[in-house]
Structure 1
Amino acid sequence: MDFWPEFLASSWGKEFVAGGFGGIAGIMAGYPLDSIRVRQQSSPSGSALRILRQVATTEGPLALYRGMTAPLASVTFQNAMVFQIYAILSRAFDSSNSSTDPPSYKGVALGGIGAGAIQSIMLSPIELIKIRLQLQTQSEKGPLSVAKNIIKTESWRGLYRGLTITALRDAPSHGFYFWTYEFMREQLHPGCRKNGQESFNTMLVAGGLAGVASWVCCYPLDVIKTRLQAQTPNSIVKYNGIVDCFQKSVRNDGYSVLFRGLGTAVSRAFVVNGAIFTAYETALRVFFNNGDSNTIEKQEALQADNAI
């Protein structure tokens, strides 16, 4: 009975819930664009506008939200854990810094790489189910039904199809992600890394640019990941791993296939990650009930030091 009040009273609890708010805001803001991106990557051709018109005409606008239940149900835990793992690792890689100072940019980048690699373990099955749902022509199956079908036809290992390419994508992309956010918010609002006084506009722009940087640096890997995870036992084209998928994709569609849907992904990334960081930082300020978010920085530093 006393678990939630005690949990929310701790800095870990506040971080967890704030991360959840950030993740939910990101999913709600960018899911339709994500559905269009996945269809662009897995189909032979089609612009974002053409796919949008086709989906809206033949399947209805709500089809763009198909498969959202799977990531939305898990996003609180996933997003919260990523931010907490990042906070811990960024200071672990930069232990020479004072606990009251923000981590160096080197610590930020290394912490992001570590957080991305770890989160790929829990993200890979979720993205597999999401992609299978997004590519359905009709909403005949839910996430649990898709998961059961994967296990039945491809065994338990089938749920982790694409794990290696997910880790290869997420580790460097999260390094760029957190580094870009910390660098850009300091450029837009000098001194804010120390005092935590950045404006909402700074959060939105820095978060949006962080999302764009993380996608641009790893986009070809994401195309390969989508094609591998979209593959089923009944697929016409068979891929025998990352290299085989790369070779067949380039042979059939040219090198441009590796950047198919990039415009949609970048647009979505700016919207989603601006929403994530704004919701996350705002929730922390509300939970700590202090207009001076320097208190938040100190709490996070203490939390990270204790964990180390």
Structure 2
Amino acid sequence: MPAESNVQDVTSPASPRTRTMPQPSTNPTTAAGSSSSSAATEKPRRWVKRYRTEVSASSASVLSTITAFPLDSVKTRLQTYPYKGFLDCVNTTYKAEGMRGFFRGVTAPLASVTLVRTVSFSIYQRSKYTYSDWMGKNLGFCPLDHVNKTGAYPTLGTLACFGLAGATAGSGITFIACPFELTKLSAQVSVLMANQKNADPKRQAIALSYHNKGTFQTLANIVKHRGISGMYTGLNLHLLRDTLGTGIYFATYESSKQILTTVSGKDAHKNPIAVLVAGALCGIVSWALIYPIDSVKSIYQRNALMYSRKEKVPLPKIRWFRRDMYRGLGVSMGRSAAVNAVFFSAFEFFKKKINALEDTEPGRSL
């Protein structure tokens, strides 16, 4: 992962592209001081400061994933099996599987979500500067300069910049996330798959083979029945969901944080309420707009787990505004609001603490 030496937050007072360089001095004493100062700045930076985005994102991911995983498990069950509602799903799961049922498959997302969020934020940070620079040079409007202005509100230009950067990050992490998410889904519904009566004994046997398997056993089982390519079952739907969803996610977060910061008259880093609310909103809005895609992805992946390699799995149609396509939406939105409120609050907190550290290790010299 490349070091994040020049990346600033969107709400920082100055863009790294507009920093003024110091002028050379003709005074020998000043020159010597300047040389000494230059040498000091060339000291190796703390690892944690160079990778502050990655460290903050991974730490916040672990905390937010564990906090809200039971709601994610309920959401997946509601999407793939017919329950009477949220409470019926919770009661049925608890009676049949106990508390463990709500944390089935948590190992995979702990690893995958941490990795995916870390990579996603790294790609996003770099992409938004790239798109902002391009827009500034070719369209005469620099989104990041606009965001840094006191009292500024979102524009179509800032929405486009953050949305495109988010879409770039979403499409980039799909290939990492797909196998992990398939494994998580299998673990979450493995008991239901095993209890589901299939007319085809072969498919029933395959379904039973996933019952009570650990993360790596589940992955090995998928490869056994579906081949290596089986780890990427539903990749097209996953790519569509993550590209659209992540674009909406970041555009909503940055824009709502900017509005709340402007209205309150405080800097974003001094306004934790803005971060908390913006984090909750970005999860709610993104899920509300792409949920039918996620439902079809979950149904398709669940069905595919009961097919052998080379067998064609029927692809469900994405049907917008049909009630069955939105089963579990309320749970998903509530979960996402909680996850992202915790995540972004923790992310900004960790990053602030890291930024407050000295640039180099105390007592360390070249």
Does the pair score TM above 0.5? yes
Q: Counterpart of 2:191 in 1: which secondary structure?
A: coil
CA contact (8 A) 1:36 1:51 kept: yes
Unmatched segments (≥5 aa) in structure 1: 1-5, 296-308
TM-score (norm 2): 0.70
Alignment of 1:79-118 (within 5 A): 79-95=117-133, 96=136, 97=142, 102=147, 104-118=158-172
User: Which moved further from structure 2: 255-264 or 71-80?
Assistant: 71-80
Render the CA deviation track for 1:172-223: whole Å, top value 9, x for unaligned.
1111111111111122221899944342222111100000011011000000
| CA displacement at 1:98 relative to structure 2 | 8.5
Aligned to 1:42: 80
Matched, 1:162 2:229: no
Q: Counterpart of 1:190 in 2: which secondary structure?
A: helix
Residues in 2 aligned to 1:239 and 1:33: alpha-carbon distance in whole angstroms: 32
Render the CA deviation track for 1:248-282: whole Å, top value 9, x for unaligned.
xx7xxx92111111111011010001111111111
User: Which moved further from structure 2: 71-80 or 216-225?
Assistant: 71-80
Aligned to 1:182: 254
Render the CA deviation track for 1:54-99: whole Å, top value 9, x for unaligned.
1111110221011000110233222111011011111111102387
2:120 aligned partner, one-letter code = V
Residues in 2 aligned to 1:66 and 1:257: alpha-carbon distance in whole angstroms: 24
Residues in 1 aligned to 2:312 and 2:285: alpha-carbon distance in whole angstroms: 29
Matched, 1:230 2:302: yes
Residues in 1 aligned to 2:306 and 2:164: alpha-carbon distance in whole angstroms: 40
| Cα distance change of structure 1 residues 15 and 233 upon mapping to structure 2, 3 Å threshold | closer
Matched, 1:173 2:227: no
Aligned to 1:283: 350
- Once superposed, what is the RMSD of the aligned Cα atoms? 2.7
TM-score (norm 1): 0.82
Match of 2:216 among 107, 130, 144: 144
Aligned to 1:213: 285
Would you tell me which structure has more helix in proportion to its own residues?
1
Aligned to 1:246: 317
| Cα distance change of structure 1 residues 266 and 201 upon mapping to structure 2, 3 Å threshold | same
Runs of 4+ in structure 1 displaced over 4 angstroms? Answer: 98-103, 191-195
Aligned to 1:256: 323
Unmatched segments (≥5 aa) in structure 2: 1-43, 137-141, 149-157, 193-210, 360-366
Residues in 2 aligned to 1:10 and 1:194: alpha-carbon distance in whole angstroms: 27
User: Which moved further from structure 2: 55-64 or 100-109?
Assistant: 100-109
Identity, % of aligned positions: 27
| Cα distance change of structure 1 residues 105 and 192 upon mapping to structure 2, 3 Å threshold | farther
